[in-house]
Amino acid sequence: MGSLGDWPEPVVCVQSLSESGDLVIPDQYVKPPLERPSLCFTDINIPVIDLAGLVTSRETTMKQISEACREWGFFQLVNHGVRAELVDGAREIWREFFHEPMEVKQKYANSPKTYEGFGSRLGVEKGAILDWNDYYYLNYLSLSHTNWPSQPPSLREVMEEYSNEILRLGAVLLKIFSINLGLKEDHLHNAFGGRDVGACLRANFYPKCPQPDLTLGLSSHSDPGGMTFLLPDEQVCGLQIRKNNQWITVKPTHHAIIVNIGDQLQVLSNTIYKSVEHRVIVNPDKERVSLAYFYNPKNNLLIQPISELVTSETPALYPPMTFDEYRRFIRTKGPHGKLQVESLKSPR
């Protein structure tokens, strides 16, 4: 127990807790007071970037993206070229999956060994406080098989089309980031492993919660990978990002794709780009569905600050580590894993 072999205690599906009609959530979901969601009154939103501007006003758009990566680590892309029906379809097909009968979902129950499949917990620490969330996790690229659910029948086809679009968008962004960092345009593409980039999907289901002020749908974390493309639920807000020690609720723009910098891009850019902490709050009346697509470097490549970005004034802040090694920490520790990795920083 406590290893990456199996869960340390029986896993409870959050949807079944929600559907039990109980007005009190189990103690295991009650966060310590400082982690509970606080009311947030600000109107600030993350930057919205019109990607069509790359053609019509290239310099301005490049600058907007640069600032978003440095100051926010998060932005929403509009006019990204992914068909609106595909944006809606990719998210809504997962809503359908989560509404399948429990017996169907249980066939895909996951284990902490690979996390692939249907699950309700992250991390293997016995007695840990859990998040109000069920999910489906898939390794999409770089492994020989993908554990697709067989229901709904068109899920795989929709996700493959969506994935092709995101891979195209990912390549465009890596080029823009490279140029903005003063590097050759294919620098980050190569640092990610060229054509061998990795990709994983996490569909999130946040059931209604009778005591949303005591818990979180997803604890504060940063994404361990390269960058994340998120399709949020457009009807129900929930994603919050930390900015200047304040939690800002993201207001989704219609058919936008949210992009955020992950830990590997923070390392490669030697913290010029920020992998920002974010979390999800839950709702008493409405379920929420989101789809996160993690665009990652190849597993076994050493990731370290790019030498062109390391100077005597800005020494390398991280030791070289493969994404595989990095991810192992996160998987053992749950969403708070990054804090452990941060202590490995080697100021030289």
Specify the residue, 183 or 265, whose C-beta has the smaller distance to ligand OGA.
Answer: 265
Tell me the closest approach of the beta carbon of residue 18 to ligand OGA, in angstroms: 16
Q: How far apart are CA 111 and CA 113, in angstroms?
A: 5
Q: How far apart are CA 225 and CA 295, in angstroms?
A: 7
Specify the residue, 149 or 305, whose C-beta has the smaller distance to ligand OGA.
Answer: 149
Tell me the closest approach of the beta carbon of residue 296 to ligand OGA, in angstroms: 12
- List interacting residues with Ni ion (CB under 5 A): 223
Q: Which residues contact 241 (CB under 8 A, 6 or more apart)?
A: 46, 72, 73, 74, 247, 248, 250, 260, 276, 277, 278
Specify the residue, 229 or 318, whose C-beta has the smaller distance to ligand OGA.
Answer: 229
Specify the residue, 54 or 78, whose C-beta has the smaller distance to ligand OGA.
Answer: 78
* 155-180 and 58-67 helices, crossing angle to 10°: 100
Tell me the closest approach of the beta carbon of residue 234 to ligand OGA, in angstroms: 12
- List interacting residues with ligand OGA (CB under 6 A): 202, 204, 218, 223, 230, 232, 238-239, 278, 280, 290, 292
Tell me the closest approach of the beta carbon of residue 294 to ligand OGA, in angstroms: 8
Tell me the closest approach of the beta carbon of residue 164 to ligand OGA, in angstroms: 21
Q: Which one of Ni ion, ligand OGA, none interacts with residue 219, CB within 5 to 8 A by kind?
A: none
> Could you tell me the sign of the dihedral formed by the alpha carbons of 113, 115, 116, 118, in that order?
positive
Specify the residue, 239 or 272, whose C-beta has the smaller distance to ligand OGA.
Answer: 239
Specify the residue, 82 or 250, whose C-beta has the smaller distance to ligand OGA.
Answer: 250
Place of tokens 């690229």: 141
Strand ranges, E, within the chain: 48-50, 74-78, 117-119, 134-141, 198-206, 218-221, 227-231, 239-243, 246-249, 257-261, 278-280, 288-296, 302-303, 321-322
Q: How far apart are CA 210 and CA 237, in angstroms?
A: 17
Q: Which one of Ni ion, ligand OGA, none interacts with residue 306, CB within 5 to 8 A by kind?
A: none
Q: How far apart are CA 163 and CA 78, in angstroms?
A: 17
Q: Which one of ligand OGA, Ni ion, none interacts with residue 17, CB within 5 to 8 A by kind?
A: none
Q: How far apart are CA 22 and CA 273, in angstroms?
A: 43
Residue number closest to ligand OGA, CB atom: 290
Q: Which one of Ni ion, ligand OGA, none interacts with residue 232, CB within 5 to 8 A by kind?
A: ligand OGA
Tell me the closest approach of the beta carbon of residue 56 to ligand OGA, in angstroms: 30
